[in-house]
Amino acid sequence: MGDKKKWFQLDLGLGQKQAVAGSCGCGKPSGGCGSHATEPPKNDLTISAEEFDAAVEQELMEDSMVAQTRKDGFQQVFDRKMDRRTAFRKLTASLLVGAGAVHTSCSVTSGEEAKEKAQIDWEEQFKGNYKLMTQEEKQATVDRLVRSYQLRKKENIKMSAADASKDVLFGYAFNISKCQGYMDCVSACVKENNQDRNSQMQYIRIHEMKDGEGFKFNEADDNYYHEVPAEGHFYMGTQCFHCDNPPCVNVCPVQATWREEDGLVVVDYDWCIGCRYCMAACPYDGRRFNWSKPEVPEDEINKNQHYLGNRLRKKGVMEKCTFCVQRSRAGKDPACVEACPTGARIFGNLLDPNSTIRWVLENKQVFRLKEDLGTEPKFWYFMD
Amino acid sequence: MKKLGIVFSIIMLCGLFSCKHKEGEYHSLKEKIEEEGKHYQDPGISSEAYIGDINTIEITEGGHTFLIPERKGQIKSFACTECHSKSLAQLQKGPKEPKAHWDIKLNHANANAMNCATCHNGTNMDNLHSLTGNTIDFNQSYQLCAQCHSAQFEDWKGGAHGKNIGGWAEPRAAMTCINCHNPHRPQIGSKWPVRFNTEKENERK
Ligand code: SF4
Ligand code: SF4
């Protein structure tokens, strides 16, 4: 199956274990650990693992459309060699959704809407990693999410699955001499990206630093409240820098975060398992974690969304600045760029030789943070 | 030995080629931008819709062509000659209290370098004029500023100074000087930040 596999799977070595020794955790073929005596011999099972696999396979393949070439989320979970116990564990893990779906779809009393809701939940539960989806699959999941929101909240949202465009590589420049510390960008970002209001999550941090002492982040204040700009201080904004060689991506055990072709580093909130490895790997404090369910008042929700961007998140997943993918891929400036009253924020296409961002890189003294790490952030600082 | 040499040189050659030409295999981001930018083709994304209802005019300065907001339509009582029918000297002969512009106090450079007449022409109020007396249209007022603030002018043309309007793609639109700076009082004052994070404050206590 190896090379035909479309989805990333975490290899826990289940296959090997089966080949080497029965099903004992000690790894020895016989005796020694004490659990072999009570363990029934593998052959005693009424159906073998292979047979079980075959049975599941057959069930799934009835849907001839999917059976031909592509394997969607449902199969991705089941279509793999596993022993009976693992298979059942897998099944129970998804039982909550499944039971709901079966219950509602079999019941004569529940309405059409409830059945549709259950159907959507089922499909969403078993969908694959967004990164590996075809354009149709991406559109399908986005449509499901829009419909699901409509069914639940009786409100319409717009959600895009727009892919990266060719000949686009997004870059950002920040003028330290211009930033006055007003924090209009922070406010705009929170609103645009539906960030949790309870924990007051903010992707952007504005650091107030003392003049003439270099960039000392440990001594800087990123939560000041006094008239700005304060005498003898300058301001420096940080957020996710969309590294071209992002360390956060390499550490993700499930490939829930990756770098898109246009340079945006994104997260599939439905694939993220919340391990926070990426947060630890980011040298720039670019990532934020949802410790609780993000809450946004209904009338403040930005309904212009992107799957990889500002769509509503759930508890226990990672999120961060996406350079406002829902806006930038449509040709609009990110919310922070639009909100900044000083023009300190410059955004554009690094591949376009006539873009303003290119002019800044070529004509101003630019630098990046921790350049020696080789992360290649696409976020430059400069001064007048 | 000879065989080894050949194998070695083949490996070296492979190394040389694969190093440069494999997609996404550049030594640095800088190199990548330069290389991939060479065959840049307009991705066909437009930012036009995001300029909104701002009336713009197109200008070309130093090889940069972009849009800036039109000005004359925004001045409430343009043309100025509607009131300024006579020359300033004659108008000022009337009552002591000014009928208009009483709120304008010039706070820009010092009195030796600048007064009203540095930019305004007392005999032609519908236009501005340069230091040498050339007529400058109100829509092109940035030309006045550029006379002294040449460094800012360079940065503005390139896109490092001033504020972009709408989107990053074509057509480029940018605010002009007077959209942010009041020409009579160009300093931008201090104010309070728009938000304070109480949660962060609690966490750090
Ligand atoms: S700034 Fe941090 S989160 Fe953003 S791409 Fe770089 S390593 Fe990843
Ligand atoms: S928190 Fe989510 S995105 Fe980050 S490493 Fe873990 S699974 Fe990947």
Question: Which residue reads 């075959």 in tokens?
Answer: A54
Q: Å from B166 to nearest chain A CA? A: 6
**What is the predicted pLDDT for the residue at B85?**
82
Say yes or no for a CB contact (<8 Å) between B151 and A384: yes
B-chain residues near A199 (CB < 8 A):
199
Residue A250: the pLDDT is 96
Question: If residue B35 lies in a helix (H) or strand (E), which one and from where to where?
Answer: helix B29-38
pLDDT, one tens digit per residue, over A290-323 is 999 999 999 999 999 999 999 999 999 999 999 9
DSSP state, B172?
P
Model confidence at A268, in pLDDT bands (50, 70, 90)? Answer: very high
Given ligand 1 and candidates A205, A239, A287, which is best to mutate, with the most ligand atoms within 8 Å of its CB?
A: A287
Residue B27 touches chain A, beta carbons under 8 Å: no
Query: Beta-carbon neighbour count of residue A222 at 10 Å?
Result: 20
Separation in Å, CA B184 to CA A306, B34, B101, B119, B136: 44, 43, 11, 10, 17
Q: Does A229 touch chain B (CB under 8 A)?
A: yes
The predicted pLDDT at position A31 comes to 41
| Residue A271: pLDDT over 80 | yes
* Ligand 1: lining residues by beta carbon, under 6 Å: A 240-243, 246-248, 265, 282, 284, 286-287, 320, 375, 377
Enter the DSSP assignment of B74.
Answer: G
Structure-token match 């990206």, residue found: A193
Q: Could you write out the DSSP letters of every residue in A93-105?
A: HTHHHHHHHHHHH
Q: What is the DSSP string of B82-129?
A: GT--S-HHHHTTS-SS-SS-TT----SS-TTT--HHHHB-TT-TTSEE
Beta-bridge partner residues of B64: B61
Predicted confidence at residue A151, as pLDDT, reads 93
List all residues 6 or more positions away from B117 whose beta carbon is below 8 Å from its beta carbon: none
Q: Sign of torsion, CA B62 B66 B68 B73?
A: positive
Residue A288, phi then psi, degrees to nearest 5: -130, 145
Q: What is the pLDDT of residue A199?
A: 94
pLDDT tens string A319-344:
999 999 999 999 999 999 999 999 99
Query: What's the pLDDT tens digit per position in A210-224?
Result: 999 989 999 999 999
Hey, is B59 helix, strand or coil? strand
How far the first Cα of chain B sits from its last, in Å, is 72
> In chain A, which residue's Cα lies nearest the Cα of B28?
A376
pLDDT of the residue at B91: 77
State pLDDT tens for residues A37-95: 444 444 444 455 566 566 555 554 444 444 444 555 555 545 555 555 555 555 555 56
B60 touches chain A (CB under 8 A): no
User: Could you tell me where the beta strands, DSSP code E, fall in A167-231?
Assistant: 170-175, 205-210
* pLDDT computed for residue A113 by the predictor: 85
User: ipTM score here?
Assistant: 0.85
Residue B187 DSSP class: P
Average pLDDT in the A109-131 region? Answer: 87
Distance from C-alpha of A7 to C-alpha of A76, rounded to nearest angstrom: 7
- More confident site: A369 or A96: A369
Phi-psi region of A7 (alpha: psi -120 to 50; beta: other; left: phi over 0): beta
Q: Which two tokens stand for residue B81?
A: 């000659």
Residue A27 CA, distance from chain mean position: 36
Residue carrying structure tokens 């309405």: A111
Pocket probe mutation, ligand 2, options A277, A282, A289, max atoms within 8 Å of Cβ = A277
Residue A229 makes CB contacts below 8 A (sequence gap 6+) with A180, A181, A235, B190
Judged by CB atoms within 8 Å, which residues 133-192 of A form the interface with B? 165-169, 173, 175, 178, 180-184, 186-187
Q: Are strands B56-61 and A345-349 parallel, antiparallel or unpaired?
A: unpaired
Residue in the block written with tokens 């109100």: B138
Element (H, E) at A86: helix A84-93
Give SS3 for A361.
Answer: helix
Residue B53 pLDDT = 93
The span from the CA of A278 to the CA of B171, in Å, is 37
Is the Cβ atom of A249 under 6 angstroms away from ligand 2?
no
- pLDDT tens for residues A132-187? 999 999 999 999 999 999 999 999 999 999 999 999 999 999 999 999 999 999 99
Q: Which two tokens stand for residue A182?
A: 């007003």
Q: Determine the 3-state secondary structure of A153 from DSSP.
A: helix
Q: Give the whole-angstrom CA distance, residue A236 versus residue B164.
A: 20
Amino acid at A3: D
Q: How far apart are CA B172 and CA B174, in angstroms?
A: 7
CA distance A55 to A38: 28
A172 phi, psi to nearest 5 deg:
-140, 140
Strand ranges inside chain A, DSSP E: 158-160, 170-175, 205-210, 233-238, 257-259, 265-267, 287-289, 304-306, 318-320, 345-349, 379-382
B63 vs A131: CA distance, rounded Å: 41
Write the DSSP assignment of A275-336 as a string of letters. Answer: --HHHHH-TT--EEE-SS-----GGG---EEETTTTSPP-TT-EEE--S-HHHHTTTPPPHH
Residues with Cβ within 8 Å of A112's Cβ and at least 6 positions away in sequence, in order, are: none
Residue A375: pLDDT band with limits 50, 70, 90? very high
pLDDT in tens, B112-146: 999 999 999 888 889 999 999 999 999 999 999 99
For the Cβ of A206 lying below 6 angstroms from any atom of ligand 2, the answer is no
Q: How far apart are CA A76 and CA A94, in angstroms?
A: 13
CA distance A149 to A311: 11
Contact of B179 with chain A, judged by CB distance below 8 Å, is answered with: no
Q: How far apart are CA A324 and CA B34, in angstroms?
A: 25
Extract the residue ranges of chain B whose pLDDT is less than 50. Answer: 16-23
Locate the chain A residue with the closest alpha carbon to B170.
Answer: A331
The average pLDDT across A4-13 equals 49
Residue A82 confidence (pLDDT): 53
The closest CB to that of B164, out of A198, A244, A333, belongs to A333
Nearest to B144 by CA among B152, A358, A179, A2: B152
The pair of structure tokens assigned to A4 is 């035909």
Higher pLDDT, A112 or A66: A112
B122 CB-contact burial (10 Å; exposed 0-12 / middle 13-18 / buried 19+): middle
Nearest by Cα to A282 from A239, A316, A317, A313: A239
Q: Which domains does chain A have, with CATH numbers?
A: 25-156 (no CATH), 170-243+294-307+322-382 (3.30.70.20)
